[in-house]
Amino acid sequence: MQFDAALAAQTAFQTAEPELGSDWDAAVELENTFSSNAGSTGREAYEGLLDLAQRHPTAHSFHAFCIYITWQQATEETIARHFETGMKLCEAYLAPREAQTGKDSEQIKELYESFRAGLGLEEEDEIQIEFRKDTPKGGD
């Protein structure tokens, strides 16, 4: 990766305040808990941040923040669930046209490929594509 996900998370979080309105204080509290705790306490705060993102579907900076911290989760605890969550968050973030420009967008596209790779879903090369085309479908 060409960037530091932790620094990108901080930047995205700092710009998310106007997007969250009255939920900003809850987000700050959850982020402080997440940043300063490991184990179940940190995981609960992480889940709380993801829940908050669900309540604010148009909060692009906050969603970027959630993607960055999901990458941190995936690198600290390498389990499929984190990679799957990261993929879903990236897909939702990149779906609207207005989110497909800017620094966060490029970084999230890169993270999306990293989440996919973590699940073994890298892009097919030409040989794989040809093999899939030539493989008989059903029958004998």
CA distance 17 to 8: 15
Tell whether 140 is covered by a domain: no
pTM of the model: 0.83
Query: For residues 42 and 105, is the Cβ–Cβ distance under 8 A?
Result: no
81: tokens are 């669930």
* Residue 61 pLDDT exceeds 60: yes
Q: Look up the domain containing 29 and give its range.
A: 5-122
Tell whether 81 is covered by a domain: yes
CA distance 76 to 140: 46
Section 111-137 average pLDDT: 70
Q: Looking at residue 78, what is its pLDDT?
A: 87
Question: In this prediction, what percent of the chain has a pLDDT beyond 70?
Answer: 84
Tell whether 97 is covered by a domain: yes
Tell whether 131 is covered by a domain: no
Tell whether 113 is covered by a domain: yes
How many domains, in total, are found in the chain?
1
Task: pLDDT band for 25, please (50, 70, 90 cuts).
Answer: very high
Task: pLDDT band for 120, please (50, 70, 90 cuts).
Answer: confident
CA distance 66 to 60: 10
* Residue 76 pLDDT exceeds 90: no
Q: What is the mean pLDDT of the chain?
A: 87
Tell whether 77 is covered by a domain: yes
Within a 10 A sphere around the Cβ of 75, how many other Cβ atoms?
A: 13
